[in-house]
Structure 1
């Protein structure tokens, strides 16, 4: 938070100009605000620095979908590790904990600096307002990630002017969420329509509306439990749906192949963190498909650690015919290089179940001239249309009165795609639908499972379980499955065995506690 790094943006000269990646190439030295923000080019460069935080390893380059989203879907497949944030066994000096906290506040500080200086620039006012909206939304989004993971945090709404500006008491949850909602709602009126861009790397109205639905669902759940927010969640999800532009890709697997192939389908994948090479040189890569993915040392396919294995209970969640199961969870592995042959798993032993990986992103589909061992250019989704449909249904179901027929239809659309019923020529289209007439409780239970099957390993499951108030019992329930794993995989249940109530929030990093004398540590630490 002591400085802002400004980057030059490649290939973008106008607001609606096409770009493969809304990131930047080379960092420059610190530029004082008095000498910057003079024109549109410099403002856009600064804005790209606000976006840049999303792709850091401490963010969606790795931690937020891997170590910091360990849930009932999978486990940390490094058997030699006994202490890690992914095992819910760490101390407040954990470097991953600090790195994510620092990255989020870095993004906030960059946004604050841009917002404080954007009016100085000589540029068209309409364009200025679009950029202002993006910066407002990103600041709010970074605060949403912070409070979702840490609870009460300092609410810094001005750029840091001096290294001595360190003491700041945490805001109340009401203060923090009020600011998040205010910023996002203001941004919704300013940012461009989703059809303005040929890619999913920039914030659009659809992205803001969809994330506002997510924010309001969180506010309706733990810890605020403000039930009035379900109305707002339904409203914002409804705006995405009513736009009439978005629709589900007919093939579930293609959604994730697109992330690897840079094939943008903004009707389904509304907002993504983008990773890329430029001209064969390393640009900015993430770990999508290399830390998770189908584990292999086959460098022709693309090396993957396969470091997130799946729980048998997650495998068992899927019913026969659900095509998501064998995509989220691989049903094959690879021969050694130079072969690219696949070998199907057979049988049903415990080893076969627990040896499978979180396989949603597969490097065999990655389109790039060079495949690194540790990193990939596969994009990561922050918001998909399927999530919007499920959020609408959940919010509507939780409101007083009878659930609308649209909510059942929206869940069934997601299910039909899962069973191949949206493809041309599909027959018995309704056979995958939920049973008719489910009451509020049974519908919610079905929807909770549906979110896991549809959105598994996308950084949402742990946060969903927490807002539903069932995180700890759900995780503890995994222990009953331990006997289903052979001895070599029973280490995978360490996460469930370590869980306590304190793990609904992460510890405030030691560095923050040492420097900020007004900060309060979370309960249990």
Structure 2
């Protein structure tokens, strides 16, 4: 096994398998690292290879926002499947987990190779530092995804060159998060302003600052519980806000229509995974809107498996005037092709609510030269400005002393948009605001709900519940709702029936345990 892996690392290096929308480079075939990184074009192509990991099926093409984010918002609706990580019914040989694990480490190794070779390239120094910053950030981001899902993992900061490199003990949480924060902070000084780009696919200062806020909130919560990090989270979120460029799109639904239409609003959607299809050339498609989305076999509007179904308790939490409810959770299905007519649901019984879909991304708005049955070109957001505002408010609320007025205002900005109060002609703007004078506990509870309303189905809910220390209890409490679901959809409750204390982390894949003799398995496996 080690010999096979080593051959892959030493013999050749795959620069990229495809390009993202911000790239115009032709994909490079297999080349020896010693003969590459000689000029700016080659370095940029190598950097594209680091980005490329983001759009794979095992990452944000599907698994990270679907199977690996089952929570109290939705359930796994593919009833033909009885064993899956989404059902928390799997073993350490699960191929989906291995795919995601392997892809993230592949991205890390690509970043390491670029960082080791970038100084030998003949290129302008200013571009060299920008590319270095992007590679540092992406390496740190891949480690962040790894540790939030698997806990203590090997911290590989140089490319794999010898058989002994494969064996590495897991680092401590302090070491892992320290490296993540350090790399991202270094990257923040090197990458370009977001106004430099005409798309959201590149890592910008705003993206780094915002993700640093997320990283520090995680460090303040489980498992580190370093409450000093709340001040850091607030600081980095404040940098995004004070930059002065970002704002909320007045129409919540338009944010996600833009993702489908290939329209970039970088004031709101700060960092995205980009997907594209160019006939005969570029094939970088994902499953945003096809594995989730409004389930339909109508290929005129766009086929969707509709595999992400909605939990009724989540639906019930929304205020009926909150526009996010009927966008995130569909109120209609589609007629038979070739018609594109919408067919409204009947009155909302419990069974009908459970039959609804996570519909944030709708293929009827997708702009594509071809509408594939399985895949789409709909972009996936990794960081939105609304998230930054809510992170600032949460961090500020958790600091000693009185909460700032800005914290309340930033939450209210998000809520006003949700209730249509940012649209032209809106009146009674403050009617959407939180009740004034909430204490620290009630304000935190309000933020926890607000994050779910605003960021539902964006791959963040499980992450949030775990860092708050409430994931297991929240999921266990859903068991009481099984009886109210239509029998056809009680299948989805297997996730909450299967959950146990071990499920705050996924199992370390069997392949890693076999190859890496120093690796340690997570508790319960």
Q: Alignment length, in residue pairs?
A: 516
8 Å CA contact 1:24–1:52 kept in 2: the answer is no
Deviation of residue 317 (structure 1)? 1.1
Change (3 A) 1:311 1:23: farther
Aligned counterpart, 1:6:
15
Change (3 A) 1:493 1:8: closer
Q: How does 1:193-208 map to 2 (within 5 A)?
A: 193-208=193-208
CA distance in 1, matches of 2:28, 2:21: 19
TM-score, normalised via structure 1 length: 0.97
Deviating more after overlay: 144-153 vs 481-490 = 481-490
Unpaired runs of 5+ in structure 1? Answer: 11-18
Deviating more after overlay: 503-512 vs 274-283 = 274-283
8 Å CA contact 1:291–1:307 kept in 2: the answer is yes
CA distance in 2, matches of 1:107, 1:179: 16
8 Å CA contact 1:9–1:45 kept in 2: the answer is no
8 Å CA contact 1:287–1:375 kept in 2: the answer is yes
Tell me if 1:75 matches 2:75. Answer: yes
8 Å CA contact 2:134–2:187 kept in 1: the answer is yes
8 Å CA contact 1:22–1:51 kept in 2: the answer is no
Deviating more after overlay: 448-457 vs 488-497 = 488-497
Deviation of residue 261 (structure 1)? 0.4
CA distance in 2, matches of 1:343, 1:80: 26
CA distance in 2, matches of 1:421, 1:263: 23
8 Å CA contact 2:18–2:282 kept in 1: the answer is no
8 Å CA contact 2:351–2:484 kept in 1: the answer is no
Deviation of residue 21 (structure 1)? 3.2
CA distance in 2, matches of 1:8, 1:192: 25
Aligned counterpart, 1:338:
338
Can you list the C-alpha shifts for 1:80-101, whole angstroms capped at 9, x where unaligned?
A: 2221000011000000010000
TM-score, normalised via structure 2 length: 0.97
Deviation of residue 313 (structure 1)? 0.5
Deviation of residue 338 (structure 1)? 0.4
Partner secondary structure for residue 75 of structure 1: strand
Partner secondary structure for residue 165 of structure 2: coil
Q: How does 1:294-313 map to 2 (within 5 A)?
A: 294-313=294-313
8 Å CA contact 2:18–2:283 kept in 1: the answer is no
Can you list the C-alpha shifts for 1:286-333, whole angstroms capped at 9, x where unaligned?
A: 000000000000000010000000000010011021000011000000
Partner secondary structure for residue 14 of structure 2: coil
CA distance in 2, matches of 1:501, 1:269: 35
Unpaired runs of 5+ in structure 2? Answer: none
CA distance in 2, matches of 1:380, 1:489: 27
Change (3 A) 1:280 1:435: farther
Aligned counterpart, 1:374:
374
Aligned counterpart, 2:179:
179
Can you list the C-alpha shifts for 1:47-78, whole angstroms capped at 9, x where unaligned?
A: 00000000000000000000000000000001
8 Å CA contact 2:28–2:45 kept in 1: the answer is no
Partner secondary structure for residue 165 of structure 1: helix
Partner secondary structure for residue 309 of structure 2: strand
8 Å CA contact 2:18–2:284 kept in 1: the answer is no
Q: How does 1:451-466 map to 2 (within 5 A)?
A: 451-466=451-466
Can you list the C-alpha shifts for 1:466-500, whole angstroms capped at 9, x where unaligned?
A: 00000000000111111211211111111111111
Aligned counterpart, 2:153:
153
Aligned counterpart, 2:243:
243
Aligned counterpart, 1:14:
none
CA distance in 2, matches of 1:25, 1:93: 36
Aligned counterpart, 1:57:
57
Aligned counterpart, 1:28:
29
CA distance in 1, matches of 2:308, 2:22: 27
Can you list the C-alpha shifts for 1:416-469, whole angstroms capped at 9, x where unaligned?
A: 000000011100000010000000000000100000000000000000000000
